Structure 1
Amino acid sequence: MMARIIGLTGGIASGKSTMAKFFREKGAAVLNVDAIAHHLSKPKRALYKIYVQHFGEEILQPDGTLDRRAIGRKVFADETERQWLNDHTHPILAHVMRQQIACMQKKNFPLIILDVPLLFEAGWDKMTEENCLVFVDEATQLARLMQRNGYTEEEARGRIAAQMPLSEKKKRADTFIDNSGSLEESFLQAEKLWKEWTHAGIS
């Protein structure tokens, strides 16, 4: 029997990566789209070439690698640029993700989790059987993002605003992890979901 495919998503700085790590340690195969994008953004690889061709060499650091923060400033300040970025990167990332899913399905994993921040925005929820939303309240999200990434409040709000509103994500998700409280409380919610997902269909 093939492993179930679960989408794991959440707003930026919601704690989604912490939950993904929890599920990986439980034995799930976790496919992280940000890690795939980072790999493809290295010099001479697919996304790197697209970025440099579009933005020019001003987005390169002295060592020739991409200046991700410079790219971020461009795309989060301009809706047209952000749409261009999504239109050109999502198909490449989706192709690689499908390849990795096929590879993981040949192995003995109890669950395959797609760790994707823009799961609904990109339409990747069509790849999954169920989707889980990790969320925190807006004030907590803003504070965590500023502290974690060193963003100004304006930069942080821009990145939050670029994502689908939490209210809309809640409508689309099947299950939830409320990460506003302690980590222990979040892990208890995750443990319950793990048991539901891995024992589904078993009498």
Structure 2
Amino acid sequence: MNTLDGVMVIGLTGQTGAGKSTVSKVFVQNGFRLIDADAISRHVVARGSHCLADLQECFTDRILTPDGELDRQVMASIAFSDHHKLEMLNTIMYPYIMGEILRMIHRFSQQNHKLILLDAPTLFESRADDFCDLIISVVAKPELRMQRIMERDHISMAAAKQRMEMQLTEEFFRLHSDTVLENNASFSELRDAAQELSAKLICYYETEYGAFV
């Protein structure tokens, strides 16, 4: 749980392909300030960064493009092929990502933005759930997720399955979340559920702390 007075951090996570980005958009539209862990993960491995240098030392130059950027496709193919390599990748990246998340929470608080959504696919793995007052997970049936991942990332069924198998189980998300949103129907239904949930959280916050900015 975060220790900043009057700040409520909502952790948003879930299975890949379940529809987390749809929920995130609804919360942002309703006034939550967004911390996008995916965007942060791209930022911390920018060319010339300390994090990229650490990755290069661990995985060699094969993860770099000719112009010195991280080759994300190569990195993903390495990490998602082996649990040990994925763990190595996460061990290197998480401290950089966590540091930036903390800085953003403090920055928003100083700007008097008190309702924050932390959108993080690896919320639990990175221990970023420690910063959260409440955790929402989005889940969906495996066959639906498979199709969505293939269409979203333009990858094969085998590659999509490999990514799904590297994630935490649905049971884990259900056991460790305060609220679970299921996305087994239409995305419009998911948006409606997210709208209702965000409204409840805003109402709760205003009851406890007063109006938020």
Of 175, 182, 188 in structure 2, the residue corresponding to residue 178 of structure 1 is: 182
AA paired with 1:26?
N
Q: Identity of counterpart residues, as a percentage? A: 27
1:99-126 CA-to-partner distances (Å, cap 9, x unmatched) read: 1111111223351010000112222211
Q: Which moved more, 1:101-110 or 1:116-125?
A: 101-110
Q: How does 1:1-203 map to 2 (within 5 A)?
A: 2-200=6-204, 202=207
Q: Which moved more, 1:54-63 or 1:132-141?
A: 54-63
Offset of residue 94 of structure 1: 0.8
What secondary structure is seen at the aligned counterpart in 1 of 2:113? coil
Q: What's the TM-score, normalizing by structure 1? A: 0.94
Cα distance in 2, alignment partners of residues 11 and 25 from structure 1 = 22
Cα distance in 2, alignment partners of residues 167 and 183 from structure 1 = 22
Q: What's the TM-score, normalizing by structure 2? A: 0.90
AA paired with 2:185?
G
Contact kept in structure 2, 1:75 and 1:81, CA below 8 Å: yes
Q: CA RMSD in A?
A: 1.5
The runs of 5 or more residues in structure 2 that have no matched partner are 209-213
Contact kept in structure 2, 1:7 and 1:131, CA below 8 Å: yes
What secondary structure is seen at the aligned counterpart in 2 of 1:43? coil
Query: Which 4+ stretches in 1 moved above 2 angstroms?
Result: 107-110
Contact kept in structure 2, 1:5 and 1:114, CA below 8 Å: yes
Contact kept in structure 2, 1:5 and 1:130, CA below 8 Å: yes
1:148-193 CA-to-partner distances (Å, cap 9, x unmatched) read: 1121112111111111101111111111222222222112111111
Q: Which moved more, 1:107-116 or 1:93-102?
A: 107-116
Cα distance in 2, alignment partners of residues 87 and 66 from structure 1 = 17
Offset of residue 132 of structure 1: 0.3
Offset of residue 6 of structure 1: 0.4
Offset of residue 194 of structure 1: 1.0
Q: Which moved more, 1:36-45 or 1:104-113?
A: 104-113
1:65-88 CA-to-partner distances (Å, cap 9, x unmatched) read: 111010111111112111111111
AA paired with 1:106?
Q
